[in-house]
Amino acid sequence: MVNSVAPRVESLATSGIQSIPKEYVRTKEEQTSITNIFEEEKKEEGPQVPTIDLKEIDSEDIELREKCREELKKAAMDWGVMHLVNHGISDELLERVKKAGEVFFQQPVEEKEKYANDQETGKIAGYGSKLANNASGQLEWEDYFFHLVFPEEKRDMSIWPKTPSDYTEATSEYAKQLRILVTKILSILSIGLGLEEGRLEQEVGGMEELLLQMKINYYPKCPQPELALGVEAHTDVSALTFILHNMVPGLQLFYQGKWVTAKCVPNSIIMHIGDTIEILSNGKYKSILHRGLVNKDKVRISWAVFCEPPKEKIILKPVLEVVSEEEPALFPPRTFAQHIQHKLFRKTQEEFKN
């Protein structure tokens, strides 16, 4: 039997190759828009990803509170992505989470292989690299570590990294605090649609059923960054996604017909509106197309937490209150699992046409 595990990108990157294998080379069309990420990050002209200061999110001062909530709602409707600052999670905890992930990835590949996942059998949690899931067999320039971090009773602690020793404690505490922030954000987005504040939380499964899945993305240095992508263009299927990074730029958003590079904002958390909230809001909140670039000089690491509704228990469709004769439902009812399948199927169809 042929072993179908793709070689780890890290092993490729450190092997001394000067040119990348063909399965990592993007299409000619994609290559035209891949630029030097460090140059892009310096640019001051053109649209910039909004930074939302959450300091007054619960302020006693009604005016300050409303202003803060309005800005968040506007960014969710216009961009669907934003840098959150003063989000209530301490810089110290964010540093611990990042340090723990960095130390895990600094271990030799053989050590990390002890946590390898097995995508073919559906065991997606653990250490992995992307398998080709598209007709062209293209791969992305990244390895990752993926696991469920909340609710606590649904975690599989057997696959959590033992090294470093702080990994479990830092990651668990971060997940717990992030879950509190998720409720706050969902209540503001609910009110922004004219709904009761607990409504969107309820629609995505509430405390018991909303899953927080963490994916640490490890993007090694790439000898030909102009030909590769760390993550190809996609929208997140989640309700919300929260991202930390090691201050190396790479994230790009497709906004008003152009790729815009997200600046690195210290101590911020990047938040994406995912497809799930776009569907529930009937397109009022945007799930933006985004991708990740790589570079020659620096390893980039990002920590993404995807907040996902349960796969089968909930039917995702625009909430009744945001649908009218003037604004009919833009999305057919589907379970979360069906939505994922629909996206994969559509992608395959598009490639088939090309």
Q: Catalytic site residues?
A: 215, 234, 236, 290
Distance from C-alpha of 260 to C-alpha of 237, rounded to nearest angstrom: 21
Residue 85 tokens read as: 């600052």
| E strand or H helix that includes residue 338 | helix 336-353
Rounded (10°) angle between helices 167-192 and 62-78:
90
Distance CA 308, CA 119 (A): 19
Hey, what are 282's tokens?
């009937």
CA dist., res. 282 & res. 253, Å (int): 21
**Residue 227 backbone dihedrals phi, psi, to 5 degrees:** -110, -15
Cβ-count burial of 349 within 10 angstroms (0-12 exposed, 13-18 middle, 19+ buried)?
A: exposed
Is residue 218 within 8 A of residue 143, CB to CB? The reply is: yes
Closest CA to 129 of 105, 94, 148: 105
Cβ-based burial of 67 (10 A; exposed 0-12, middle 13-18, buried ≥19): middle
Token pair for 270: 């990047």
- How far is it, in rounded angstroms, from Cα 255 to Cα 130? 26
* Closest residue by Cα to residue 323 from 286, 287, 280, 285: 280
Q: What is the DSSP letter of 237?
A: -
Q: How far is the C-alpha of 207 from the C-alpha of 202, rounded, in Å?
A: 9
The radius of gyration of the chain from alpha carbons, rounded to an integer in Å, stands at 20
Phi and psi of 121, rounded to 5°? Answer: -95, 10
Beta carbons within 10 angstroms of residue 299's beta carbon: 18
